[in-house]
Structure 1
Amino acid sequence: MDLTNFEPTRTFPGLLLDRARREPDAVAMRHWRDGVVQEITWRSYADHVRDLALGLVAHGVKHGDRVAVMCSARPEWVFAALAVHSVGGVVIGVYPTNSVAEIEQLLAHSEAVAFIGETATELAKVANVAARTPSLRLVLGIDDAPPALPEPVTGMTWDALRDEGAWHAGDKPDRLSELVAAGSLDDAAVLFYTSGSTGAPKGVTHSHRTLQHSVQTFSGLYPDITSRRYDVVGFLPLAHVAPALVVVFAPLLTKLMVTYCRMDVYEEVLRSVRPTSVLWPPRFYEKIAGELIARTKSWPWFRRRAYDAAMWVGRRVAENRWSHRRPSALLRIAYAAALRGVFLPLRATVGMDRMRVAYTASAAMPESVLAIWQIWGLDLRENYGLTETGGCPIAHFDQPFPRPGFIGREFPDPRFQVKVADDGEMLISAPLLFTGYWGNPAETEAVLQDGWFRTGDLMERAPRGDIRLIGRKKDVIITRGGKTINPQPIETRLKESLLIDEAIVVGDARKYLTVLLEPSASADAPSAEALAESLRAEVARVNADLARVEQLKDFRVLPRSLEVERGERTANGKIKRTAVVSSFAALIDDMYGVNDDAAIADHVRSKPN
C-alpha cells in the first residue's frame, strides 16, 4: 500500500476473494475459544462468506438492505459483515449492551430487514420488538435458535442459513463472484450509530471507499504492516468504529493477524498472543498500568529497589525525549539495562513485552498514564479519530515517544488537511470522511460543509505543528472507555420525576456516569435518608431503559441550588456543565472512590526511598 497515494480499487468482498485466490491456505484469522486457538484460512473465510451471502439472497436480502449484527468480537461477526457486503447490503453494528428500547430505535430508524444475534439473550431482545419493526423479515441465531417471532418474520439458525447457501453455491459456483462484481466502492458499507444532538440515534454512514482510506491511516501507524505480520487481540465491541476498522477491515489490506476472544478472557489471551499492535481506549492502559504498579509493591525488597532505580532512570529518559534532547551515553546504557532487567519482564506478565509502538484514541488520555507506559519503554502515542472520520486523520505517525497532551499532526497525504475555524473549532478535509448521517440530511449539512467536517472539538497548534485539543463545543460526555454519550436525554428523563428539579450527569474522562441531583420543593421526605431512597428509586427507573454504558452508577444531592452569580447557570437559566463540575468537584470525586489516574500520576512523580 502506497501510504501517500493510496486509492481503493476493490470492495471489501472483492479484496477477500483476491486473498483467497492468492493465498488460500494461509491463516487469515484466529479464534480463542475455551483455551483453544482455532485457525481459519483465507479459503475457509471466503467459503463462510459465500454460503452466508447466498443464504441471505435466498431470503430476499438485496443491494442496499440493512442487516443488524449483535455479537461479541468473533469470526462470525466478520463473516456476517462480508456476506452482507457481498450482496451489496449495509452492516449495522449493535452493541451487546444495548437495551431493548435502543435496539427497537436502531432497527426502526435503519429499516433493517435482518438481525443476526449471538445468543438467546440478544435474540430475546429482538423478539420483544420485532412486531414494532415493520421492515424486519429475518432473524438469525449464531449459538442459539431464535424464539417465537411474529409473522412475517422468519427465524432460523446460523448453520441452517449456511447450509442453504452452500446448496445454492453448488448449483451456481460463480454466483458469489457475480454478486461481488455488482458492488461499488461508493456503496454504503456500515452504519455506526452514535448519539444525536437531541438523543435520537445518528447512523454514521461509511462506504467501502471511506473505510479503506481509514485503513490507509491505520497502516500509517505501522508503516510496514503490509509486508510484515503484526498480531492483535480482538475483544472490543465491533459496533464501535475503531475496533471494526482494525480487526474486521484492516486485515483485508494488510498482514495484521487477529486473534478474536471474549471480553472476559482478554487478559489471558494477551499473555498468550503477546500482541505487537494495539489501539485501545485509555481505560485499558490505565487499568493494566494500575495492576502492574500494584504488583511491584508486593515485590521483595531487593527487586523493589531495582524497580525504583529503573524508574529514576526511566523518568530522566522520558524528560529528555519530551524536551527533544538526546540522553547521554551513560543514561542510554542505564536505560537499556532497566528495560532488559526490569520493565520488559514486568510488561511480559501481561503479554505486552513484544510491543514496541501502541496507540490510544476515543477519549482523553490522562497524561500520567501515557507517561508511565513511555517510562516502561512502550512508545504509546495518542491519535485522533471520530466515528465520522473512521480512521485517524491525526496521529503521531512518525514521532516516537511524544510528549503527553498532544494528538499529533495530519496524516502525510496532501488530501488530508486540518484547519482552525474562526471560533477555534477543528475542521478536517480527507477522503476518509463519512458520507452522511443515514436519513438525516439536516444533521449532515450542519457538519459537512464544502468538503470540510466540523468536528466539534477546539484545537490549537504548537510551534512544531503538533495539535492539542483544548475543549469541545458540543455538550457531550466521553467516558474513559471512549463512549460518547449525550447527557441531555438522561437528564430529561430524570426531571420527569416530581422529586427532581435539576439533574446534571457527569462522567467525562471517568470510568462511568454519575449524576448530581437537586430535589424539588415538593420532595417532602421525613429525613435525608428517606429522600435518598426515593431518589435512588428514580435513578433506577431511568437506568432500566438505558444501555449499560449510559447507566448512572451513583448520585449525590446538591447541597445548594445552582447560581448565576457563581457561573453555574447562564442568565436565562441554562446550566453551564463545566462550571458545575468545578464547583462540586469534591462531591463528584466522592462518587468515584480511588482514582487510578491519580495513583498512576503519583507513581510517575514519586522518588525512590
Structure 2
Amino acid sequence: MNVESITSGAQLAGMTVPKLLNARRLERPDMVAFQQKRRGEWAAVTWAEYAQKVVNLADALQRAGLQRGDRVAIMGDASQEWLIADMATICAGGVMVGVYFTSSPEEVAYYLSDSGASFIFVGSENQLRIVLSSGQSKNVRKIIVLDPEWKPASESEAVISLGRFCAGPNVVVDDFLSAQIAQADAKDLTSIGYTSGTTGNPKGAMLTHLSILAGAHVVTTFGPGMRSDPHRVVVHLPMSHTVARAQATTLPLVSGIVPYFGESTADFAQTIKEVKPTFFMAPPRFYQRFAAQILSKVHSGTEKQQGDYQLAMEIARKALDDRKAGRGDPFISALFSTCRDRIFLPLLAEVGFDELKVPFTASAAMPSELMTLWQLWGLQLKECYGQTEMVGANLVQMADWPEAGTVGLPVIDKAWETAVLEDNEMIVRGPGLFVGYWNKPEETKFALRDGWLYTGDIVEIGPTGLFKLVDRKKEIINTSNGKSVSPTQIENEIRHSPYISEAAVIGEGKKYLTALIEVDATATMNWVKTRDPQVRQYSDLANSEVVVRLIEGEVAKANSRLARAEQVKAFRILPEELSPENGVMTPTRKKRRKQLMERYQPLIDTLYDESEDHLIKAEMKM
C-alpha cells in the first residue's frame, strides 16, 4: 500500500490505523518514525521498532481486560510514550481520551467520569497525584505511569509503571496486527477529543478511524512534498490538542512527516532551535512570542546592524508589495533575496526557523500586522481553519504571500464541502467529521444536521472568494445602544500591537465597550526598563504610569482602524498573565470568557459608571 498515492480523503474510507501502521512498518522498517530527546541526546526510533512497542503495549492492555470500545485516558506531556499509548489503545480496539496535563483534579474528574475511562496513562508523579485526588481513580482498573524513570514508593496493583505493565517477551507483530486489522472497521471509534470548553464544560467529539485519517490527509495538501518528504516537526503542544496529536500520531501514517519530541514541552523553544523544523503549525501566540524575541535581538544590535535591518525592511516591503500586486521587478527581487540571506535568515535562526518551509497558524485569528512581519522576513506564513469536530481543516491559505486577515479558500480535496448560510454561519461536510458528542445527543443534533457540521462561526467572503473569520456566533456582543459587534475582530486589532499579547473586550448590555489587556511580558519589559526602574516583574506593569500611557497609545491606534461602535472607551492592564493555571485560558490559549469575566469582575466594575443603574435599582426597591 503506497500512502503517497492517496489524493483524496474519500480514498481512506476502508483504512484503519492498524492497517496503515502495518503498511508503514512493512514498507519502511528501517526508516525513522520519530525522534525523542532524553538526557541531552536524540534517539531515533524506526517504524519496525515503533510497531513493536505499540503491539507490546496493545497486547498488555488486552491482557489486562481492555475490550473493544473501552475508553483509555492519557494525561501527560508530549513524548514518545504518549504517542505509543495512543497508538496502542487504538490498535487494541480501545478509544483514546486525551486529558491535558495542566488539568486540575476537578477537570480530570470530569473527563474520567464523562468518558467512563477504564484505564488511564499519566506522564509523571505529579499527574498521578492529580488523578488520585480527582476522586475518580477508584473507577479505573489501572493507572499506568509513562515516565520511564518513575520509581514507585511502593508496589501496587492499581498503579504500575509502563515497563512493568508491558513486561514479557516481544509479541509477534505480524500475528497481532493481522488479527486487529481483521476486526477493525473505518467507522469504529478511535478517540474522544474534548473541545476547548471556552463556553462551558468541554464536549467529547467522537472520532472514527476515517475521521482522524481523512483529517490528517487534508494537511498533506498544505505544502510541497508533504506526502513524501521527511519533514521535521516539533511536537510542542499538549498531545490532547487536535493539531499536536495529528502531527505525532496520524500525519506520519499518511505523509513523510517525522515528529521530534523534546525533553519537555516547557523547553520547546530550545527544541525548535535544535531541530530546525521544516513544517510548523502553532497558534498565533507562539509566532508573536518568537517575533518579539527576534525584535529584541534587532533592537539590541549595534547602530550599523539596526541601520542594515531598517534598509532590508524597506526593500522587503517593496518586494512584498510587488509580489502581492502581481508585479515583478527583477532588481528588487534580487535585492530581497540578498536581504533574506544576509539579514533575515540569521534572525530566523535565532528561533530555529531558518529551514522552515511550511509554516502555518491555526486555533485563533492571526493579527494581520504580525503575519505581514513574518512575510517581510521571508517566511510564507499562512493560516488555516479547523475545529476539533473536523480534525483537519476545511479552509486554508494556499497562495504565495497570502492576504493577511483571511483564512483562505476551501481545501482542494473535493471530498470536503463548505457552505455559508444566510446568517453567515459556515457549515462543513466531509469524510473527516466527528460522528457526534459523547453522551450528548441533543448537542449532537444541533451540531450535525443532514451530514453537515454547523460550526457556529460567522464568516465573510471577500470579492476574491477568500474567507474571513468574523466571530463565534455565541460571542457577538449586543450593547445597550442596540449595536451588535464582534469582540474577536476588535481584539485582533488591539493585538496588532507588539506590546499586547491578549485582549478581552467587554460590553454585553453596556453603553460602551471596554477591554482587559494582557501586555506582552518580553516586549514591554524591554521597553520599560530604561523608562521606569520601579518595574521589576510582570505585576508591576499594571501600576506603571509610563506603561499605561504606552498601552493607551496602542489602543488609540486600534480604535483609529475601527468603526465608532467598535471602539474601546477604556481599558485596564491585567495584574497577571493569563494561563490555564488560573482557569481563564484553555491549554491552547483560547479565552474562557465566562471564567475570565468572573475572575476579573472587580477590575471590570471600575471600567463602567454604574450610577444610572444604581439609581434605577434603588428606585425599584422603594
TM-score normalised by the chain length of structure 2:
0.76
Cα displacement (A) at 1:471: 2.2
Stretch of structure 1 that moved more, 418-427 or 275-284: 418-427
Cα displacement (A) at 1:195: 4.9
Root-mean-square deviation (Å): 3.3
* CA deviation map 1:545-600 (0-9, x unaligned): 9977668686625236577999xxxxxxxxxxxxxxxxxxxxxxxxxxxxxxxxxx
**Among 14, 21, 27, the residue aligned to 2:19:** 14
* Distance in 1 separating the partners of 2:354 and 2:197: 40
Aligned residue for 1:574?
none
Is 1:105 aligned to residue 105 of structure 2? no
Aligned residue for 2:416?
416
1:72-87 aligned at under 5 Å gives the runs 72-87=77-92
Alignment CA distance shift 1:387-1:510 (3 Å):
farther
* Distance in 2 separating the partners of 1:357 and 1:437: 33
1:172-211 aligned at under 5 Å gives the runs 174-195=175-196, 199-211=200-212
Is 1:40 aligned to residue 45 of structure 2? yes
Alignment CA distance shift 1:56-1:103 (3 Å):
same
Alignment CA distance shift 1:62-1:459 (3 Å):
same
Asked whether the 8 Å contact 2:22–2:51 carries over to 1, the reply is yes
* Distance in 1 separating the partners of 2:228 and 2:219: 14
Asked whether the 8 Å contact 2:54–2:85 carries over to 1, the reply is yes
Q: Tell me, what secondary structure is at the counterpart of 1:331?
A: helix
Asked whether the 8 Å contact 1:14–1:181 carries over to 2, the reply is no
* Distance in 1 separating the partners of 2:223 and 2:195: 28
Asked whether the 8 Å contact 2:30–2:48 carries over to 1, the reply is yes
Cα displacement (A) at 1:93: 0.8
Paired amino acid for 1:345? P
Asked whether the 8 Å contact 2:131–2:137 carries over to 1, the reply is no
Cα displacement (A) at 1:274: 1.1
Aligned residue for 1:495?
none
* Distance in 2 separating the partners of 1:351 and 1:110: 39
Cα displacement (A) at 1:201: 2.6
Aligned residue for 2:509?
none
Aligned residue for 1:367?
368
* Distance in 1 separating the partners of 2:389 and 2:447: 10
Aligned residue for 1:227?
228
1:360-509 aligned at under 5 Å gives the runs 360-397=361-398, 399-475=399-475
Alignment CA distance shift 1:204-1:565 (3 Å):
farther
Alignment CA distance shift 1:393-1:221 (3 Å):
same
Asked whether the 8 Å contact 1:127–1:149 carries over to 2, the reply is no
Aligned residue for 2:270?
268
Aligned residue for 1:137?
141
Aligned residue for 2:167?
163
Cα displacement (A) at 1:222: 2.1
**Among 97, 117, 125, the residue aligned to 2:130:** 125
Alignment CA distance shift 1:565-1:224 (3 Å):
farther
Cα displacement (A) at 1:192: 1.2
Cα displacement (A) at 1:298: 1.4
Cα displacement (A) at 1:197: 8.1
Paired amino acid for 1:458? I
Q: Tell me, what secondary structure is at the counterpart of 1:24?
A: coil
Cα displacement (A) at 1:506: 6.0
1:542-581 aligned at under 5 Å gives the runs 543=582, 556-559=603-606
Alignment CA distance shift 1:215-1:198 (3 Å):
closer
Alignment CA distance shift 1:224-1:564 (3 Å):
farther
Paired amino acid for 1:453? L
Alignment CA distance shift 1:375-1:407 (3 Å):
same
Q: Tell me, what secondary structure is at the counterpart of 1:383?
A: strand
* Distance in 1 separating the partners of 2:66 and 2:224: 38
Stretch of structure 1 that moved more, 373-382 or 554-563: 554-563
Asked whether the 8 Å contact 1:425–1:459 carries over to 2, the reply is yes
Paired amino acid for 1:273? V
* CA deviation map 1:421-454 (0-9, x unaligned): 1111111112111111111111011011111111
Cα displacement (A) at 1:409: 0.5
Is 1:306 aligned to residue 308 of structure 2? yes
Aligned residue for 1:598?
none
Asked whether the 8 Å contact 1:371–1:404 carries over to 2, the reply is yes
Asked whether the 8 Å contact 1:68–1:92 carries over to 2, the reply is yes
Aligned residue for 2:356?
355
Aligned residue for 2:158?
154
Paired amino acid for 1:264? A
* CA deviation map 1:316-340 (0-9, x unaligned): 2222333x32241221121111111
Between the aligned residues of both structures, percent identity stands at 30
Alignment CA distance shift 1:2-1:20 (3 Å):
closer
Alignment CA distance shift 1:507-1:109 (3 Å):
farther
Asked whether the 8 Å contact 1:225–1:256 carries over to 2, the reply is yes
Alignment CA distance shift 1:242-1:547 (3 Å):
closer
**Among 292, 297, 319, the residue aligned to 2:321:** 319
Paired amino acid for 1:341? R
Asked whether the 8 Å contact 2:227–2:255 carries over to 1, the reply is yes
Please list every run of 5 or more consecutive structure 1 residues that lacks an aligned counterpart in the other structure.
Answer: 482-486, 488-503, 515-535, 567-609
Alignment CA distance shift 1:289-1:365 (3 Å):
same
Cα displacement (A) at 1:21: 1.7
